[in-house]
A = this chain, B = another copy of it.
Amino acid sequence: MTVFQTIALDAMGGDFGPPVIVPAAAAALTHMPETRFQFFGDERQIKRELDTHPALKNVSEIIHTDKKINSEDKPSVALRNGKDSSMRLAIEAVKEGRADAVVSAGNTGALMALSKLVLKTLPGINRPAIASSFPTLRGQTLMLDLGANLACDEEVLTQFAVLGAVYVRVVKGIANPSVGLLNVGTEEMKGHEELRAASAILSSVEFPGRYHGFIEGDDITKGTVDVVVTDGFTGNIALKTAEGVGKLTAEILRTEFKSTPLAMLGYLLARGGIKRVKDRVDPRKYNGGMFLGLNGICVKSHGGSDLIGTENAILVASDLVRNGYNKRVAYEVEQLMSQESFFSSAVTSA
């Protein structure tokens, strides 16, 4: 077997640990046969699960540790005490070239802090961003940052535009992706100063996409652009607000469909359609927050992810590896920074 990639899994991260993470890896393996896995965590628990998945067991290695990062640990605690934790060891496997990507369902803050410390950012990238795909009226859109950096200056926002555009281009195969800056209006003079400065830079530089301009909150789901760029504070609020509206709608629908016998009958007849609706917006299929801009591939799976969600996060990591995402980003950032207009805009706006 030609080994194309090796994925390091923090087997102890998330609410469920090996009983979900091992079967999810087995499911992912069927989509990417030329893969090896490294499981970091409690050997006994991992082995018990691997024993029921012989095909996976054949291509897997267990790196035992009885230390783990807890979900309530602050990033500072994880940095100080996380030395031999399953999360940190998995990240170090990527750093040392023994693995191509790490996937963890553990504590987001700790994963970001440790992966920044261990992997460092790519040359030319000041700060990594958390990115994820979302369903829209037209297909999907990538949004970043979703919470790694609360405030972002124009240089960081411009780098996010490159990180996002390269992803959509090399992983999603969209030749000339459009990038929008999330704002409270589409006119040039709207919004914070950093947004206007980032807009000026993106309008004048060449980068691996097409700058669309400012977009508003409802443009995210309209699918107005392929990449939505925003600071981590705004991105996190938008993401969680959207999740909340989704849950509210689902709950209201559930109540109303149960309200009369006729509505229940209607529901039964229409349930094929309703299931397809649920499938289209199923958050598990969008699981996998990518930490873009690091010198190594790191994907965060939701802490409560089930098998399908975890499998998806592994596939997201694999897509980044297979498409040589980081090499492409490094190249594009170098191109960006060599442009005179990038510096002149940055200087003018400073």
Show the binding face of A for B, using Cβ within 8 Å. Answer: 135-137, 147, 150-151, 182, 184, 191-192, 216-222, 230, 232-234, 236-249, 251-253, 256-257, 259-260, 262-263, 265-274, 276-277, 280-281
In the bound assembly, the distance between CA atoms of A249 and B135 in angstroms comes to: 10
Q: Which residues of B contact A280 (CB under 8 A)?
A: 252
Q: Is the CB of B272 within 8 A of A244?
A: no
* Copies of this chain in the oligomer: 2
Given A257-B273, A270-B267, A280-B252, does the pair A218, B247 have CB atoms closer than 8 Å?
Answer: yes
Closest-CB distance, A134 to chain B (whole angstroms): 9
Instruction: Identify the closest chain B residue to A189 (Cβ).
Output: B74
Q: Is the CB of B269 within 8 A of A265?
A: yes
- Cβ-neighbour of A237 out of B150, B217, B271, B272 (below 8 A): B217
Q: Which of A249, A268, A276 has the most CB of B within 10 A?
A: A249
Chain A interface mostly: helix
Q: Which residues of B contact A263 (CB under 8 A)?
A: 269-270, 272-273
Q: Is the CB of A273 within 8 A of B281?
A: no
Q: Is the CB of B218 within 8 A of A244?
A: yes
Closest 7 CB pairs of A and B: A266-B270, A217-B240, A266-B269, A218-B244, A256-B273, A263-B273, A217-B241
Q: Which residues of B contact A222 (CB under 8 A)?
A: 244, 247-248
Q: Which residues of B contact A233 (CB under 8 A)?
A: 184, 191-192, 234
